[in-house]
Amino acid sequence: MARPYLLDIDQDGNISDDHFFHKVESLAAQGLTKEQVARALGMHYDTYNEYQKRDQRLVDAYLDGKAKGIATVTNALFQKAKAGDNTAMIFFLKNRDPENWEDVQKRHIAGAEGGALQITEVQHTIIDPLDD
């Protein structure tokens, strides 16, 4: 675990350290989960979770960071796709428009009026691999 982050706590037990919120936002922007953020700050997840329940700013810092990280990577992917990177184009289209760009076409097979299929007869055929 990382060296514990020393929090400034006010007399009401709330976090009074703006740098802490910026650190959480930065770590979330890098794609860390809440558990990983807590560990990176040298804090047990249960402690992090308790602060999160008491202080909406901590929740907001994590969500803002997560959104900023996704926006940064999305923009980079989009720029590569626009520049003609075929892999980036394919990835972007498959994820943004899967109905038209999915590799596997899904088929739905249903019985009468959309209900379950009814199997009325099963035939067994044994094929001898040595027969031509």
**Could you list the mean pLDDT of each consecutive 10-residue stretch along the chain, which spans 132 residues?**
73 87 97 97 94 95 98 97 96 91 80 84 80 68
Indicate the SS3 state at residue 15: strand
Please state the pTM of the whole predicted model.
0.71
Rounded Cα gap, residues 19 and 58, in angstroms: 11
| Confidence at residue 29, expressed as pLDDT on a 0 to 100 scale | 98
Q: What is the per-residue pLDDT for 43?
A: 93
CA separation for the pair 36, 54 (Å, rounded)? 20
Per-residue confidence (pLDDT) for residue 41, from 0 to 100 = 93
Integer CA distances (angstroms), 132 to 107, 127, 128, 129, in order: 34, 10, 9, 8
